[in-house]
Amino acid sequence: MVDVILKKGKEKAVLQRHPWLFSGAIEKVKGKPANGDIVRLLNDKGDFMAYGFYNDQSRVALRLLEWNENTEVNEDWFRKKVAVAVASRSELLEDGSTNTCRLIFSEADYLPGLIVDKYADYLAVQVLTSGIENIMPVIIDELQKLLKPEGIFDKSDASSRAHEGLGTINQVLAGQHPPDVVKVLENGISYGINIAEGQKSGFYCDQRDNRHIVALHSKGKKVLDCFSYTGGFTLNSLQNGAIAVTSVDSSALAIETLKQNIELNNLDASKHTAIQSDVNKQLRVLREQGEKFDIVVLDPPKYAPSRSALNKASRAYKDLNRMGMLLLNSGGLLATFSCSGAMDIDAFKQVLAWAALDAGKEVQFIYQFCQPEDHPVRASFPEGEYLKGLLCRVL
Ligand code: SAH
């Protein structure tokens, strides 16, 4: 095994068990490890610090796996991590009302670069590091043993693969190709998922709890669901007695699937309006038409992919939320989200305060949304926390 020597004074984050080591913290690589190899990290005095995946193409040159020198990072180590992660989701799936969730969430589950989502009897995986790519045969074997899925599909078309020098993949890894529509259940609501063609790995299961919480407020209400995708917030609101729901998304496939999902759940399509459009444009149209809503949901894609994009993103979030506020009846609720890891909850509150001022509204924060239990945040890896939201009463 190749030894990698840490620069003097760079121990702190490693000792705190942060799983990333940037290339700038490396003094020397003693040998020529291949990308994805497991190497041993030593400090400048030669003391053992951790084992990790090596990759010289990535800014994160080492993804640390294990801090105990006597614990060998072998096949069995990976099998155990997979098993522990899968077992920790069993309660969530126990009563059968939900059969889709994230089974493995990368660093948070001690498997940097591996994402595994369950869609009923199918699994969709994303492989984002060369280290995980090397060990995939073992991981697939363990997933098959534990879960006996009908099929495992590789959905590794994430741009982050490029940072590790890996290409794009969209293929069956084991078992059958998933059908065009895989039916899943989330909190008793059915969704048709197109694993191969859908966004991300097909479904945003990170909003499971938040959809439910928003829907608790929707009885007898008129709801506007912006960035609806296949209807997570829409379906929950209709199911919970909303009198009218308008959904807006720019993706034709998402809107088509959303309409099918309304039928799938025997919901009253006459209470629903689907609009395929740019949200920013549509919010202006609705305002010109004098439309008002009791609940507005804003769940945009990631506006700030990095810290450097934060200023620009803050302005975009502010404009979006200002428009959302202007479409609410007095006392109405704005359920607003940011999935930008670079924007923390305090910064997001600040953005909403600006939006409120610009809109001439008073805003009360009445609830803070976060990511659900199958997207854990590891204490030593705060970067894993990305999804946040606020339920605001707008006066
Ligand atoms: N709320 C959804 C998830 C939203 S993901 C759920 O509960 O499942 C973000 C969505 O925003 C995607 O469906 C994407 O198609 C859509 N989108 C991105 N930019 C957009 C824009 N400018 N206008 C409208 N929709 C947009």
CATH number for the domain that contains residue 38: 2.30.130.10
pLDDT attached to residue 167 = 78
Q: How far apart are CA 7 and CA 17, in angstroms?
A: 17
Do 263 and 311 share a structural domain? yes
Determine which helix (DSSP H) or strand (DSSP E) holds 323, and give its type and residue range. helix 310-326
Do 368 and 253 share a structural domain? yes
Dihedral in degrees, nearest 10, Cα atoms 246, 341, 310, 125? -80
pLDDT attached to residue 201 = 57
Query: Is residue 101 assigned to a domain?
Result: yes
316 and 338 Cβ atoms separated by less than 8 Å: no
Q: How far is the CA of 248 from the centre of ligand 1 (A)?
A: 8
pLDDT tens for each residue of the chain, 395 residues long: 999 999 999 999 999 999 999 999 999 999 999 999 999 999 999 999 999 999 999 999 999 999 999 999 999 999 999 999 999 999 999 999 999 999 999 999 999 999 999 999 999 999 999 999 999 999 999 999 999 999 999 988 767 777 778 877 788 999 999 999 999 999 999 999 988 876 665 799 999 999 999 999 999 999 999 999 999 999 999 999 999 999 999 999 999 999 999 999 999 999 999 999 999 999 999 999 999 999 999 999 999 999 999 999 999 999 999 999 999 999 999 999 999 999 999 999 999 999 999 999 999 999 999 999 999 999 999 999 999 999 999 99
Do 176 and 106 share a structural domain? yes
369 lines ligand 1 (CB under 6 A): no
Tally of CB atoms within 10 A around 364: 11
281 lines ligand 1 (CB under 6 A): no
Query: Is residue 94 assigned to a domain?
Result: yes
Q: How far is the CA of 354 from the centre of ligand 1 (A)?
A: 23
249 lines ligand 1 (CB under 6 A): yes
| Backbone torsion region of residue 9, taken as left when φ is above 0, otherwise alpha when ψ lies between -120 and 50, otherwise beta | left
186 contacts: CB under 8 Å, gap ≥ 6: 98, 100, 205, 208, 211, 232
236 and 215 Cβ atoms separated by less than 8 Å: yes
Q: How far is the CA of 279 from the centre of ligand 1 (A)?
A: 9
337 lines ligand 1 (CB under 6 A): no
Closest Cα to atom 12 of ligand 1: 229
Do 359 and 245 share a structural domain? yes
Do 232 and 325 share a structural domain? yes
Do 208 and 229 share a structural domain? yes
Do 380 and 241 share a structural domain? yes
276 lines ligand 1 (CB under 6 A): no
27 lines ligand 1 (CB under 6 A): no
Range of the domain at 12: 3-66
Closest Cα to atom 10 of ligand 1: 227
Sign of the four-CA dihedral 31, 34, 39, 44: positive
Residue to mutate, 101, 223, 224, 227, ligand 1, most ligand atoms under 8 Å from C-beta: 227
Q: How far apart are CA 129 and CA 198, in angstroms?
A: 22
Of 101, 339, 370, 392, which is the active-site residue? 339
Q: How far apart are CA 347 and CA 351, in angstroms?
A: 6
Eight-class DSSP state of 63:
E
Token reading at 239: 């199911």
Closest Cα to atom 15 of ligand 1: 251
Do 60 and 87 share a structural domain? no
126 lines ligand 1 (CB under 6 A): no
Whole-structure pTM value: 0.96
Do 134 and 29 share a structural domain? no
pLDDT attached to residue 91 = 97
**Ligand 1 atom at minimum distance from 230 CA:** 8
Do 250 and 139 share a structural domain? no
| 392 classed as catalytic | no
Query: Is residue 310 assigned to a domain?
Result: yes
